[in-house]
Structure 1
Amino acid sequence: MMTAPPRVGVSKPIALAVLCAAFFMGVLDSTSVFAALPSIGRDLGMGQASLSWVVTIYGVIVAGFMLPCGRLADLIGRRRVFLVAIAIFAGGSLACGLAASGGALIAARGVQALGAAALTPAALALLLSLFPDGPGRNRALAIWGGLGGIGATCGLVLGGMVTDLAGWVWIFYVNVPVCGLLAGLVPRVLPESRAAGRPKLDVPGGLVISGGLMLLALGLLEFPTSGWGPRTWAPLAGAAVAGGLLVLIERHSANPILPPRLFRSRPLVIGNAVILAAGICVNGLLATATLYTQQVLNLSPLLFGTILASMTIGSVLTVAYGQRVVTHSGVRVVAVSGMGLLAVAGASFRLLPADHTGLPLLLGGLIVFGAGMGAAFVAGQIAAVGGVDPADAGAASGIEETSFTIGCILGVVIVTAVSMAAVAGSATGNDRLSGLHAAFTALAVIAAAGGLASLTLPRHPQ
């Protein structure tokens, strides 16, 4: 099964810029809202519980719908799904800015998340259809992968700046003209592509996998506030039931939502494991570093954002050179190196003191972490989707992006659980620091495990 080839005259650099801009916008919006939550709470009269749903609803819907939306893009047209997703995301963003109550904002965030869930896998599938397997695809995937980690970091920084300068509504309003520009460019620079033969969508499988992933995400997101209570284990149990039901459905489906042939590819499976581990490390670090700088060191959010921006230095360098190494030496060396750097940085944070003398160590560690983040995302991205059949581009993209989303959610859950266990109910500054040290150690261990898994990737160049 093949997809329609790109039409003559398509400008690949412009097409790549459009796709990456859409992806970057979606990633930014997933984290920029964190800095705006206090202002949102004051303006809309929302308490802590309802404010948490501004974040939770986005993560739950994105996690639940990315995979089926990616497969849908394969079947009915990737550009078509991409355009519809841009429109939904723009409408959701506008509704968020206009929201006059907490309930309206949460509902609008759900609409925005649905747009992001379709936008990302459709954009990545279009990228794969534009760039044939080889160095050109590696360069494009390196840029895409690097934007994932950089976007999450920049979202925290830019969200605070926009909120302080223009008000929280503008972290949503700014998306509307960007979406309008992208929608105008898409028909001009992106050709349509889809799987040949028009196979039917596995609707039962799609519904079950969406429900199962949403329950999984909901259970994980509830853990930091609810612990192992019913609000955590009940959704997780429901996700397990959905997983069993999905296996039964897929066995009898003529066109399964998760084609089994994808999971026979070792690079795809291990690449997704690398992306999952990197997502855990990135979001886990963002959560832990925020607590360290603002609760232990009492730094201002603006200063914290400035320090955090140092991560992009190392990330940009490894994104630029990582894809060249992949082309000449294969994904294994880049993936192992990236996860190793993440492990080293996490272990070094274990030495951070309770005063400002640790700032040089924090700054240097963040640069090393950023380098590891860039390398891990480049190698994981190329391994996970670089060699897939063109007919499965959307499905593979959905799997990869879902791995990253679940990893990001798990990152916060893991560092919360580890730090809570280490502190064991104490509330002094030193006890908080010991909990953060334990969380940093956990991230180092996870990165090391990801590095070991990377050793099974192929040696040969992609």
Structure 2
Amino acid sequence: MATPRPVSETGTVEEATHHGKGIALAVIASCQLMVVLDITIVNIALPQIQRALDFSTTSLSWVVNAYTLTFGGLLLLGGRTGDILGRRRMFVFGVLLFVFASLLGGLAQNSGQLLAARALQGAGGAIASPTSLALITTTFDEGPERNRAFGVFAAVSAGGGAIGLLAGGILVEWLDWRWIFFVNVPIGVLIAFATLRVIRESERHAGHFDLAGALTSTLGMVALVYGFIRAAQDGWRDGWTLAAFGAAVALLAAFLAIERRSTQPITPLRMFADRNRAGTYGMMLSLAAAIFGMFFFLTLFVQNVLDFSPIQAGLAFLPVSAVIAVGAGLASQLLPRYGPKPFMVTGAILSATGLAWLTLTDIHSTYAGSVLGPMLVFSLGMGLQFVSLTLMAVSGVAPREAGAASGLLNATQQVGGSLGLSILVTVFSTASRNKAEDLVPEFMVRATPRERLLFRRTGQLPGHWGDEVLTAGVSSAFVAAAIFTVVAALIALLAIQVRPSDLERLQGTGPPGV
């Protein structure tokens, strides 16, 4: 009997380490997918939730906002908790809090219970998401290995929105809206268990929590978003609109003052002294507004104008996830050779081109002829950018501030998405209202008696008249979204400067660091 060839001890250790890191990345990416997916999965279920829990049309928007605002507002504090208390420990805690809140959301019997559960979900995500990104920096060696890990993380982060739309359509159409929350429970429990088995605890750093900074930043962003949403409904001169903007200015000014005085702020302002990092945060703010707007308004268009079912609408967005993953993989492979700036500039230009193309949609457009092409161009641009943005945000950061840096990147994504969507909704509402006013005289002449009666009862133009109003608003919103991506391209072109040391770190030949 032949004696098997011995395997060197080094080879065995290397293979085991590689296998363990692969499992660790799968666990981290699964958590990020669950958290990001929940931002969009509820969109398909909103009509069913409204009927089941008696939401008004205005209050229904807070089913989304309660999650995204809490998530974005507490991300900075969430990143800090991992630095101080241990990243694995807080990662598991955040996942389990998210699971508990999901269970409460699925069991909610009224609107108040559901909104409270959504806010608690956001808090759990705010702890789990930044610590998951920070765990990559402590689990994977700097250079090609970490580049690949960030590529997977960025692809999951960017593509989770489209997967959420598909999953939401399937769960709502085949089961019930409550399953969009229940499905998180077994997945989250499995992630928490696997984390304790395959991911090692990070070094804990002494410090304290900047609760005042977290509170003022969160409330300030909530007030700012509420101001834009209120303006879309009641106008810019409305008293509550002005009060919301005034409160936002005061709270955010207080936040900056607190951060300047704090010895251990949740947002070390010195991070913005680095030109590349400040530019990266600015780009993420603009690009998140564009991608949130693209999903939101295309979902309205394909379901209301193209008459797609929930599952059909979800399937329509699957190419977005695939192309983003391709773009992220391409960028992660070529970054060490060319550096991040070419991908930032090219990606932003492609995204702007896709959104500009979408402004041409009208009531006669089709999915294959008018939606799919620009959507793919937009998605490729986003995929090229997200890996570069993630790497630039944490490159060169001291290990004790890795959680704060990653938390700030995630916060700018969520805040940019919430603020940007509220601005785009304002543009949409204004354009829709103007289009409706232009169509009313013609409608009153050409409409059937039944259509005129329906208009008097609801105040909304029915049938193809309503489709024209919606399409005009969507097209105007895409114009504003394209402007956001042009701003991102200008930031990449004028602000980002890649140094030789940055390229050395990407190639794994420079001095060690985060």
Relative to the length of structure 2, the TM-score reads 0.83
In structure 1, what is the Cα distance between the partners aligned to 2:84 and 2:173? Answer: 44
In structure 1, what is the Cα distance between the partners aligned to 2:475 and 2:221? Answer: 31
Kindly state the Cα deviation for residue 380 of structure 1 after the two structures are TM-superposed: 1.4
| CA-atom RMSD in angstroms | 2.1
Inter-CA distance 252–276: structure 2 relative to 1 (3 Å threshold): closer
In structure 2, what is the Cα distance between the partners aligned to 1:133 and 1:232? Answer: 47
Aligned 8 A contact 1:221 1:413 in 2: yes
Inter-CA distance 80–316: structure 2 relative to 1 (3 Å threshold): same
AA of the residue aligned to 1:451: A
* 2:305 matches 1:296: yes
* 2:480 matches 1:442: yes
In structure 2, what is the Cα distance between the partners aligned to 1:147 and 1:221? Answer: 29
* 2:332 matches 1:332: no
**In structure 2, what is the equivalent of residue 362 of structure 1?**
371
In structure 2, what is the Cα distance between the partners aligned to 1:394 and 1:234? Answer: 34
**In structure 2, what is the equivalent of residue 5 of structure 1?**
none
**In structure 2, what is the equivalent of residue 202 of structure 1?**
210
* 2:484 matches 1:457: no
Structure 2 stretches of 5 or more lacking a match? 1-15, 437-464, 507-514
Kindly state the Cα deviation for residue 335 of structure 1 after the two structures are TM-superposed: 0.7
The 5-angstrom pairing of residues 258-269 of structure 1 reads 258-269=267-278
- Secondary structure (helix, strand or coil) at the match of 1:426 reads helix
**In structure 1, what is the equivalent of residue 4 of structure 2?**
none
AA of the residue aligned to 1:341: L
Of 124, 130, 135 in structure 2, the residue corresponding to residue 121 of structure 1 is: 130
AA of the residue aligned to 1:457: I
Inter-CA distance 152–205: structure 2 relative to 1 (3 Å threshold): same
AA of the residue aligned to 1:203: L
**In structure 1, what is the equivalent of residue 440 of structure 2?**
none
Kindly state the Cα deviation for residue 222 of structure 1 after the two structures are TM-superposed: 4.4
Deviations 1:194-253 (A, max 9, x none): 454x12233333333333233334434544444433444433322221222223323332
* 2:21 matches 1:21: no
In structure 2, what is the Cα distance between the partners aligned to 1:432 and 1:208? Answer: 36
**In structure 2, what is the equivalent of residue 36 of structure 1?**
45
**In structure 1, what is the equivalent of residue 296 of structure 2?**
287
The 5-angstrom pairing of residues 343-358 of structure 1 reads 343-357=352-366
In structure 1, what is the Cα distance between the partners aligned to 2:230 and 2:170? Answer: 28
AA of the residue aligned to 1:236: F
- Secondary structure (helix, strand or coil) at the match of 2:167 reads helix
Relative to the length of structure 1, the TM-score reads 0.92
In structure 1, what is the Cα distance between the partners aligned to 2:217 and 2:425? Answer: 27
Inter-CA distance 273–358: structure 2 relative to 1 (3 Å threshold): same
* 2:403 matches 1:394: yes
- Secondary structure (helix, strand or coil) at the match of 1:425 reads helix
The structure with the larger Rg is 2
- Secondary structure (helix, strand or coil) at the match of 1:256 reads coil
In structure 2, what is the Cα distance between the partners aligned to 1:233 and 1:155? Answer: 35
The 5-angstrom pairing of residues 19-418 of structure 1 reads 19-196=28-205, 198-228=206-236, 229-357=238-366, 359-418=368-427
AA of the residue aligned to 1:188: R
In structure 2, what is the Cα distance between the partners aligned to 1:257 and 1:247? Answer: 11
Percent identity reads: 33
Aligned 8 A contact 1:342 1:372 in 2: yes
Kindly state the Cα deviation for residue 417 of structure 1 after the two structures are TM-superposed: 2.2
Aligned 8 A contact 1:121 1:401 in 2: yes
Kindly state the Cα deviation for residue 431 of structure 1 after the two structures are TM-superposed: 4.3
AA of the residue aligned to 1:212: G
- Secondary structure (helix, strand or coil) at the match of 2:396 reads coil
Inter-CA distance 178–410: structure 2 relative to 1 (3 Å threshold): same
Kindly state the Cα deviation for residue 85 of structure 1 after the two structures are TM-superposed: 0.8
* Pairs aligned (count): 454
**In structure 2, what is the equivalent of residue 433 of structure 1?**
471
In structure 1, what is the Cα distance between the partners aligned to 2:111 and 2:431? Answer: 35
Inter-CA distance 433–163: structure 2 relative to 1 (3 Å threshold): closer
Aligned 8 A contact 1:56 1:221 in 2: no
Aligned 8 A contact 1:385 1:396 in 2: yes
In structure 2, what is the Cα distance between the partners aligned to 1:164 and 1:261? Answer: 49
- Secondary structure (helix, strand or coil) at the match of 1:168 reads coil
Kindly state the Cα deviation for residue 425 of structure 1 after the two structures are TM-superposed: 3.4
Aligned 8 A contact 2:431 2:476 in 1: yes
Aligned 8 A contact 1:65 1:117 in 2: yes
In structure 1, what is the Cα distance between the partners aligned to 2:315 and 2:61? Answer: 25
Inter-CA distance 21–397: structure 2 relative to 1 (3 Å threshold): same
In structure 2, what is the Cα distance between the partners aligned to 1:354 and 1:445? Answer: 23
- Secondary structure (helix, strand or coil) at the match of 1:187 reads helix
Kindly state the Cα deviation for residue 386 of structure 1 after the two structures are TM-superposed: 3.2
Structure 1 stretches of 5 or more lacking a match? 1-7
In structure 1, what is the Cα distance between the partners aligned to 2:278 and 2:125? Answer: 24
**In structure 2, what is the equivalent of residue 4 of structure 1?**
none
Aligned 8 A contact 2:170 2:310 in 1: no
**In structure 1, what is the equivalent of residue 5 of structure 2?**
none
Inter-CA distance 418–212: structure 2 relative to 1 (3 Å threshold): closer
- Secondary structure (helix, strand or coil) at the match of 1:351 reads coil
AA of the residue aligned to 2:496: L
In structure 1, what is the Cα distance between the partners aligned to 2:197 and 2:28? Answer: 13
- Secondary structure (helix, strand or coil) at the match of 1:193 reads coil
